[in-house]
Structure 1
């Protein structure tokens, strides 16, 4: 049984941990609390090197890690100034293991779930196709939720990438969200999307549901506990009514 859930803020992102916690508190039996950024409150001297070791170097190579001094120094700066970090994918399971070691000894049992909202892009290796896949969340203890993963992991319409590339070639920068939404058919989430907090609620609930029931994801596409691989599916599952399929509505209807 999960008695406590602790969320950790990601202050450099659009995600509002307090609003997510309030929503979760209305739906689960556990006590829900919020703490400041995990990488601030639970950091140690070895964390920068752990992130360096978890770096994905090639999307088609299972081996990870570059612990050269310059890379470790970059990770140290990224921990101190997260707004400067970006453009790197990390092995989500390796990061999870590193952060698990930082949990307080009295809070490591599965009855106290920790959910850091992270400003890092996480991935897991796919044995079926031999490449890394970006993820929104990595379930377990602690359960990691990647805020940029919400925008990057589920695939957008092909037209989105064409418009983004064309605009970048002309202006040297990515087009604003309003331009993309006007020119690209279909719905999708982009960086700093105002719908971020609403969408992440379901991914945090998935972390709780996994520890509480052992079920990873729901097979019903429109359920908050679903794990769609494309952006329209994320919109349908996290931003449309009803929130849950019939089975999970019985568990989590407020």
Structure 2
């Protein structure tokens, strides 16, 4: 039984850990606290190399890692100054293992770091890496970039982005994409980020409390959406929960 939840801030992102903690505390029978960035607290001489080992080097190769000196130095700089990072995907389970070793926490105290890294898991069914919003377990990793990148956007989004890049040489502003693309989606630093993360933070608690990873009902906050429109529906539209989970958390 989960007795305590600790959320960890990701200060370079739009996510508000304190607001998430307040929302969660109203719905679970556990003490909810907030702490500063976990990667800063656990950083040691080995962690940078372990992040280098967890780097996904190809979307279609299961093996990970590049521990050349320059890569390790990059990871050291990014751990110290997260604003300097980006554009890299990490094996979420490998990162989870390394952090669990350092935390050595009992399962009645779930740790939920909001992280500024893109995380993925390998799909045996199709032989490729898939970005994830959350890697559940202990600790439960919630990737803020994953919220924007993991669920697929409407096809028109990718076409509009590519077209703009060819003409202008850079990524189009959000307002351009929203005007040209039919359908709702989240983009980096979206003001809806905190609200959209609520279900994933709850899923971290729910998994250790019940053993259930995600809900299979579309529209429930505990649904693991694979498309942006489904994520919007689950996290930002009423009702918050399916009938079963409304009894527990509504």
TM range (shorter): over 0.9
CA–CA distance in structure 2, aligned partners of residues 101 and 170 of structure 1: 48
What's the C-alpha RMSD, in Å, of the aligned pairs? 0.7
Q: Does residue 247 of the first structure (1) align with residue 249 of the second (2)? A: no
CA–CA distance in structure 2, aligned partners of residues 170 and 85 of structure 1: 27
TM-score, length basis structure 2: 0.99
C-alpha deviation, 1:75, in angstroms: 0.3
Structure 1's unaligned 5+ residue stretches are: none
Q: Does residue 169 of the first structure (1) align with residue 166 of the second (2)? A: yes
CA–CA distance in structure 2, aligned partners of residues 245 and 165 of structure 1: 37
Task: Give 3-state SS (helix, strand or coil) of 1:116's partner.
Answer: strand
Summarize deviations over 1:164-217 as a string: whole Å, max 9, x none.
Answer: 111122222211111111110000000000000000011010110000000011
**Matched residue count:** 250
Summarize deviations over 1:77-128 as a string: whole Å, max 9, x none.
Answer: 111111110110000000000111121x4xx110000000000000000000
Q: Does residue 217 of the first structure (1) align with residue 225 of the second (2)? A: no
Q: Does residue 68 of the first structure (1) align with residue 45 of the second (2)? A: no
Summarize deviations over 1:135-188 as a string: whole Å, max 9, x none.
Answer: 000000000000000000000011101111111222222111111111100000
Detail structure 1 runs of 4+ shifted over 3 Å in the superposition: none
Task: Give 3-state SS (helix, strand or coil) of 1:101's partner.
Answer: helix
CA–CA distance in structure 2, aligned partners of residues 156 and 119 of structure 1: 20
Structure 2's unaligned 5+ residue stretches are: none
CA–CA distance in structure 2, aligned partners of residues 117 and 101 of structure 1: 18
**Following superposition of structure 1 onto structure 2, how do residues 78-89 of structure 1 map, counting pairs within 5 Å?**
78-89=78-89
CA–CA distance in structure 2, aligned partners of residues 155 and 183 of structure 1: 17
